[in-house]
């Protein structure tokens, strides 16, 4: 069984499905509401666990009803919760999400306890990290904590997978500790400081990440699939065609599955195919963690 650690965020997602996304000053009536567990870190942890990995989550929750619900859900999903801290001062993270009929979304996040995830929280999990095959990181927690976790994993010889979402300025030293970076087009453009008129979905553009010290790059391209760029070659992996319902956690499904594939012995390209299938299934369902597929579902998907 692959062993994966996720250091990252946990939120409660409050989702309103509407005919179209609200414009500034507009109230859209007639939406459908659902409250579901989310947060990029927790989403990726659940994605990996449902695909058969033993997943340890390092995160912070408030001492509130949202935190109680999240912790119950983590345990139900089989996550190792030994390093999930209940913050006595800050509320649990909350995300407000609009999803329209075309499956596009708008998201606003109040991070709460996620903003207090610390280097000490990571250090407490260092022995467990040493036994892991991979560490997954995102950017909904403090950058110093992400950098510290990456450095610790790098020193321990554990593969570091960074999903740089939401995109934000990062210290240059972080990239040299990242074995695999997994941005979408918007995130890659921001990190590479490219203009809107500059192509990012080409190997030549993405090789700038290699110059920054990153081991390999996978650019996620939504319904198109993903572009894999390594020091030796590049390859486009096509996604399975599906009817999307909600794309909110597609990237999280992809990242969690990618870590499982690599930790199971698949090569980078086969792992990317596995991840594309996982994301394709996730977008056919409403919600974040609840949309994550099982390994049986992924392996049964043709295309």
Angle at 165 between CA 50 and CA 118, to 5 degrees: 85
Domain holding 259, by residue range, is 3-10+39-91+113-300
Catalytic residue check, 252: yes
Domain-located, residue 26: no
Domain-located, residue 209: yes
| Per-residue pLDDT in tens (0 to 9) along the chain, 303 residues | 999 999 999 999 898 989 999 999 999 987 789 888 999 999 999 999 999 999 999 999 999 999 999 999 999 999 999 999 999 999 999 989 898 988 888 888 899 999 999 999 999 999 999 999 999 999 999 999 999 999 999 999 999 999 999 999 899 999 999 999 999 999 999 999 988 778 888 899 999 999 999 999 999 999 999 999 999 999 999 998 999 888 878 999 999 999 999 999 999 999 999 999 999 999 998 778 889 999 999 999 865
Domain-located, residue 99: no
Q: How many domains does the chain have?
A: 1
Domain-located, residue 100: no
Domain-located, residue 107: no
Domain-located, residue 273: yes
CATH number of 184's domain? 3.40.1190.20
User: Which residue in 68, 196, 252, 267 is the catalytic one?
Assistant: 252
Domain-located, residue 24: no
Domain-located, residue 33: no
pTM of the model: 0.93
**What is the reported pLDDT for 84?**
98
């Amino acid at each position: 069984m692959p062993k994966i650690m996720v250091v990252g965020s946990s939120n409660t997602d409050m989702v309103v499905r509407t005919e179209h996304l609200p414009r500034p000053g507009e109230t859209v009536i007639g939406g459908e509401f659902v409250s579901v567990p989310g947060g990029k870190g927790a989403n990726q942890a659940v994605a990996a666990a449902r695909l058969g990995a033993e997943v340890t989550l390092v995160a912070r929750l408030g001492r509130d009803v949202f935190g109680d619900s999240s912790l119950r859900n983590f345990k139900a999903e089989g996550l190792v919760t030994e390093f999930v801290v209940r913050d006595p001062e800050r509320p649990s993270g909350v995300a407000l999400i609009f999803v329209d009929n075309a499956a596009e979304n708008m998201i606003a996040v109040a991070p709460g306890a996620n903003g207090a995830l610390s280097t000490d929280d990571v250090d407490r999990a260092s022995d467990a990290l040493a036994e892991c095959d991979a560490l997954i990181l995102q950017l909904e927690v403090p950058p110093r904590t992400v950098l510290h976790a990456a450095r610790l994993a790098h020193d321990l010889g554990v593969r570091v997978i960074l999903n740089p979402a939401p995109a934000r300025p990062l210290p240059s030293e972080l990239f040299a500790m990242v074995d695999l970076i997994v941005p979408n087009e918007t995130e890659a453009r921001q990190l590479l400081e490219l203009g809107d008129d500059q192509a990012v979905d080409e190997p030549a553009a993405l090789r700038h990440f290699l110059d920054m010290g990153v081991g390999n790059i996978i650019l996620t391209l939504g319904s198109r699939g993903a572009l894999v760029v390594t020091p030796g070659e590049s390859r486009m992996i096509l996604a399975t065609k599906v009817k999307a319902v909600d794309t909110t956690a597609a990237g999280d499904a992809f990242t969690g599955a990618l870590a499982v594939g690599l930790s199971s012995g698949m090569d980078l390209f086969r792992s990317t195919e596995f991840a594309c299938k996982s994301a394709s299934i996730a977008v056919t369902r409403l919600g974040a963690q609840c949309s994550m597929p099982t390994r049986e579902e992924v392996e049964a998907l043709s295309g």
